[in-house]
């Protein structure tokens, strides 16, 4: 049996300077991955891009896989923060407008660095990092489920757990396919996609009102 590749950091950064170094390394990892691809990325390239020695890199991360794992974790935190902001923005809107706002926020978040999303989609399963994605999905579910509870009177589906699971999974899966397969989509394509996914959600949550 092949030995598992360690993906945990060597140590956690706590001081301001250490935190800045780790952030620089993660930013460099993202740039190298999108510029050269996962297979050509190396700790030497990442350290050079970050402007630090490879020895400094190894103080915090044992290998490339650990850097990518940390980048995935940071990405997940950023996605959750974007979702929280979007939910605050649509809190006072009717359900159909709120769904459109959430779909738009999800698409825009994925478009920020679509090349990086494609790499994550390819490499996370290979690296054994699916648990990190599952954590993101779980927290996303809880946030949307809390929102659905507040709008229960507007939703025809009685089982809000099932409704939340279906909506979150549908938006995430369709958005990933859209971003991965249409990385150069025009604004018109993006808007049509948002319209169609919104109609799908509203038709499910409020039959006859889509």
**Do 22 and 113 belong to one domain?**
no
Q: Which residue has the tokens 């009685």?
A: 158
Is residue 4 included in any domain, yes or no? no
Is residue 90 included in any domain, yes or no? yes
Is residue 81 included in any domain, yes or no? yes
**Do 96 and 187 belong to one domain?**
yes
pLDDT in tens, 133-168: 677 788 889 999 999 999 999 999 999 999 999 999
CATH number at 139 reads 1.10.357.10
Between residues 77 and 25, the one the model is more confident about: 25
The structure's pTM equals: 0.75
Which domain does 39 fall in, by range? Answer: 16-62
Can you give the pLDDT at residue 121?
74
Is residue 1 included in any domain, yes or no? no
Q: Are 144 and 201 in contact (CB under 8 A)?
A: no
**Do 22 and 123 belong to one domain?**
no
Q: End of a domain among 26, 44, 62?
A: 62
CATH number at 37 reads 1.10.10.60
- Count of structural domains, the chain: 2
Mean of pLDDT over the chain: 84
**Do 25 and 83 belong to one domain?**
no
Is residue 199 included in any domain, yes or no? yes
Task: Select from 87, 95, 191 the least CA-distant residue to 141.
Answer: 87
Can you give the pLDDT at residue 137?
81
Structure tokens at 200: 């799908």
**Do 143 and 116 belong to one domain?**
yes
Q: Are 175 and 85 in contact (CB under 8 A)?
A: no
pLDDT in tens, 163-209: 999 999 999 889 888 887 766 666 678 899 999 999 999 999 998 76
For the ranges 3-17, 61-75, 194-208, which has the lowest average pLDDT?
3-17
**Do 57 and 71 belong to one domain?**
no
Q: Are 25 and 67 in contact (CB under 8 A)?
A: yes
């Amino acid at each position: 049996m092949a030995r598992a590749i360690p993906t945990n950091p060597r140590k956690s950064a706590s001081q301001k300077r250490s935190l800045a170094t780790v952030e620089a390394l993660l930013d460099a990892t993202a740039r190298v991955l999108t510029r050269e691809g996962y297979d050509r990325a190396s700790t030497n390239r990442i350290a050079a891009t970050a402007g630090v020695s490879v020895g400094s890199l190894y103080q915090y991360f044992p290998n490339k896989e650990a850097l990518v794992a940390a980048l995935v974790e940071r990405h997940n935190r950023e996605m959750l923060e974007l979702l929280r902001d979007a939910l605050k923005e649509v809190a006072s809107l009717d359900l159909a407008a709120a769904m459109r706002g959430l779909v738009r926020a999800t698409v825009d978040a994925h478009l920020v660095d679509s090349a990086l999303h494609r790499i994550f989609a390819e490499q996370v399963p290979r690296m054994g990092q699916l648990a990190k994605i599952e954590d993101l999905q779980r927290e996303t579910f809880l946030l949307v489920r809390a929102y659905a509870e507040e709008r229960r009177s507007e939703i025809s589906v009685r089982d809000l757990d099932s409704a939340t699971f279906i909506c979150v999974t549908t938006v995430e899966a369709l958005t990933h396919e859209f971003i991965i397969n249409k990385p150069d989509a025009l604004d018109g394509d993006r808007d049509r996609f948002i319209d169609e996914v919104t109609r799908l959600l509203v038709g499910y949550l409020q039959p006859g009102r889509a």
